[in-house]
Amino acid sequence: MTDTAVVYDDSALMAYAHGQIGAAELISEVNAEGRHVGVPSTCLAAALAELTDEWDIMQLMRLVRTKTVVILPLAAHDANGDPAEAVRQVSEFARLADCELTVGHAVAEAIAHQAYYVTAKPGRAMEALPPSWPILDLSPVRLVSDLMGVAPVATTAARPALSSEVDQGAGEPDGEAKMPSAVQPMLATPGPVPTSGEWGYEFKWDGVRTIAYVDGGEVKLLTRTHDDVTETYPELAVLGRLFADRRVVLDGEIVALGRNGLPSFPVLQQRMRTRRPTNHLLRTLPVRFYAFDLLYLDGTDFMPLSYVERRDALQRLDVSGDTVDTPPYWTGDVGSALIATARELGLEGVMAKRLSSPYQPGRRSPAWVKTPLTRTIQVVVGGYKPGGGRRAGTIGSLLVGMYKPNGELAYVGNINAGLSEATLRDLHERLDELRAPASPFDEAVPRDHAREAHWVRPVLVADVNFRSWTVDRRLRQPSWQGLRGDVEPADVRLPQ
């Protein structure tokens, strides 16, 4: 076992089996180098327990078939389990994969030969492993950034900064600021990626915009509409442990990753509907918090500072772990490269933020520009038509609108695509409670759409994908994406 050169944990195995963006390619490159593979026994057992798709299991077999699989009981990871039982659980898998199964405590040998520990959960690995063991990070935000091919802005310090150091470095005035309790997020204006001037560029993540408040280890999560979602995402309580006795306010996005390792709003919706998730849901549909702005830290109000100063202080805090991360940002002439990478990966788009801009709570500012790559907008549900055939007894299509600058609700189309049976049942229950005697739209709805329509109060907001606008300002080929509990109906504006 002295030639063991790489060790995969269960998160790496799952990433490979699911074909996660970047992970499968990277692992394939490692295997092509002829390295022998080590897999902690409980890690392989955990991956097998999670995989239900036959194709995924075959992928895993292909991986372990490439070289000898050394089953390594890993002390910290296996502390609550029985390594011998784990070996028994995976022995049949090893037989089916036609690979050699070697049982032994080979961690020391692996360290001596500088074996890479490959994981999509580096936080757990850093706690379990000696500091000298090199870790290959497969977390999606790192792989996506690596695919850019352009180095992000570097962190100026590799450790959490003391508040006094942040204050001095940022040139803050003396005196302690009160920690805010309800910051209204700064918003971006839509537009093409700016190419002139000094800008910072980030990927646009498809999730729920959230302000995180951490005070003495206690965490509170508020959405744009000030809904408290702390209990909905209990795994983000890790922020309290990361900051211990510090006080901090972060702006960021709660995301859920699809099988490809990229943020997926439909996946996140399955968590948004559940106020108090079960342990099964927490395990099968975990979320992450991507922090991209620092608003307050230990008595210092960072909002008046420039974007680049806030970002530098945020990166020095090293907000990272298995459920939280700080995505990188780029400066210079990288806008077109970022757009191309976002398009290739299927990300939502790109954000550009003027380096000198302060944080302006609640303002939709030209200092922040969002460039979405998919044509996704928010709409307000104003009614529905009853379904027929397979949709009999439920919803056939949804009648939706957007608000004009004068406050009138304009009708923009009807939606019947993208609605699953579970979504239809959920919407039918919600809309039945919102029934209204007349149309909420301030203009006539086309007769064929209005016929037999059931009208509702316009309080539900949803994401919709569409191909283009028609000449009469209707959505062409709209497809339902999901409800948005973090957006007020009045903020859904018809583009001019």
128 and 264 housed in the same domain: no
Query: Are 416 and 360 in the same domain?
Result: no
CATH number at 436 reads 2.40.50.140
Q: Is there a domain that residue 151 lies in? A: no
Q: Are residues 11 and 117 in the same domain?
A: yes
In degrees, to the nearest 5, what angle opens at C-alpha 120 toward C-alphas 146 and 14? 115
Across the strands, what pairs with 131? none
pLDDT of residue 105 exceeding 50: no
Query: What is the domain range of residue 113?
Result: 4-138
Residue 483 maps to a domain = yes
The answer to the question of residue 152 being in a domain is: no
What is the structure's pLDDT at 138? 77
Say if residue 342's pLDDT is above 60: yes
Q: Examine the domain organization and report whether 286 and 266 are in the same domain.
A: yes
Residue that finishes a domain, picked among 334, 351, 372: 372
**Within this chain, do residues 362 and 380 fall inside the same structural domain, yes or no?**
no
Q: Which residue among 372, 400, 422 closes a domain?
A: 372
Sign of CA dihedral 325, 294, 251, 279: positive
Is 144 inside a domain boundary? no
**pLDDT exceeding 70 applies to what percent of the chain?**
78
Residue 453, amino acid: A
Residue 149: inside a domain: no
Structural domain contains residue 194: yes
| Residue 106 counted as domain residue | yes
Q: Are residues 197 and 108 in the same domain?
A: no
Is 104 a residue whose pLDDT tops 80? no
- The answer to whether residue 204 is catalytic is yes
For residues 311, 313, 318, 324, the Cα torsion angle rounded to the nearest 10 degrees is: -50
Q: How many CB atoms lie within 10 A of CB 96?
A: 12
pLDDT at 231: 95
Which helix or strand (DSSP H or E) is residue 57 part of? Answer: helix 54-65
pLDDT in tens, 156-197: 644 434 444 444 334 344 568 899 999 999 999 988 999 888
340 with 219, same domain: the answer is yes
**Whether residue 182 is found in the same domain as residue 54:** no
Q: Are residues 329 and 389 in the same domain?
A: no
pLDDT at residue 182, rounded to an integer:
92
pLDDT given for residue 211 in this prediction: 97
Asked whether residue 368 falls in the same domain as residue 287, the answer is: yes
The CATH number of the domain holding residue 255 is 3.30.470.30
Domain count along the chain: 3
Q: Which of 204, 353, 370, 385 is catalytic?
A: 204
> Do 311 and 429 lie in a common domain?
no
Considering the domain architecture, whether residues 201 and 329 belong to the same structural domain is answered as yes
Residue finishing a domain among 372, 406, 426: 372
- Tokens 């996005």: give the residue: 253
Asked whether residue 198 is domain-assigned, the answer is yes
- Banded pLDDT at 78 (limits 50, 70, 90): very low
